[in-house]
Amino acid sequence: MDKLLYVGMTAAKNTQLAQATTVNNLANASTPGFRGDFHVLLSAQVEGPYFDSRVNSVSHDRASNLQQGPVQYTGGEWDVAIDGDGWLAVQAEDGSEAYSRRGDLRLTAEGMLVNGANQMVLGENGPLSIPEYSRLLIGNDGTISIVPKGEASSTMISLDRLKLVKLDPEQVIKRDDGLMAQRDGMSGLPDASVRVRSGYIEGSNISAVDSMVSMINHSRMYEMQVKLMRTAETMAENSSRLMRME
């Protein structure tokens, strides 16, 4: 009976973890540039005598779906969407460099460029500070040019270029803060081939309908696994009762 109970227990535990991942995905279905996660399990033999038939399900590193989300036109002067592969470099809360596809950029009261999660956006020379301007242009290569406030419209100057990088697809991992990094700890390599579209935003690659269906399936699976554990308990009680009768 313990084998039956063990199967139900490990299945229920990991179904809960998968449900938590799905709930987080659904909560971010409208977050710009969000990359959905999925639950990765590996089989591991339980060590020790008398456990030859026991295989445990263990969680592997967080895995994410890197497929591009839908791109929509907004007309916002600071909105940018990356064309194809590539990432925007941002400064994480701990001061480290990390990467995001979130392109809903804005200026703080101090003139610092941040995204919708209030993370500072990096240029090739560090965090981007934008002076007052009367006209703005973001080129396809990420170059930010402005006409300073009070200057003639022909006085267009280049401030900096968004730090656009490419990451090794085999190394990409999502950090606990939701930003992307490389598993080996290396920084992404700036790549001049990465292009952006000004006035557009890339949405989440999560389908709300698919996530809802997954949540329902996980709930049913969990109920089935709990019933399996109850069945194992009932069978164990019946076996004990029969032994006492003898």
The region, left, alpha or beta by phi > 0 then psi within -120 to 50, assigned to residue 75 is: left
- Copy the structure tokens of residue 87: 């990432």
Tell me, what DSSP letter sits at residue 47? P
Mean pLDDT computed over 208-229: 88
Tell me what the pLDDT averaged over the chain comes to.
87
pTM over 0.85: no
For residues 114 and 140, give the distance between their C-alpha atoms in angstroms, rounded to a whole number. 19
pLDDT in tens, 99-157: 999 999 999 999 999 999 999 999 999 999 999 999 999 999 999 999 998 888 888 99
Cα–Cα nearest to 206, from 32, 17, 61: 32
For residues 24 and 59, give the distance between their C-alpha atoms in angstroms, rounded to a whole number. 17
pLDDT in tens, 69-110: 999 999 999 999 999 899 999 999 999 999 999 999 999 999
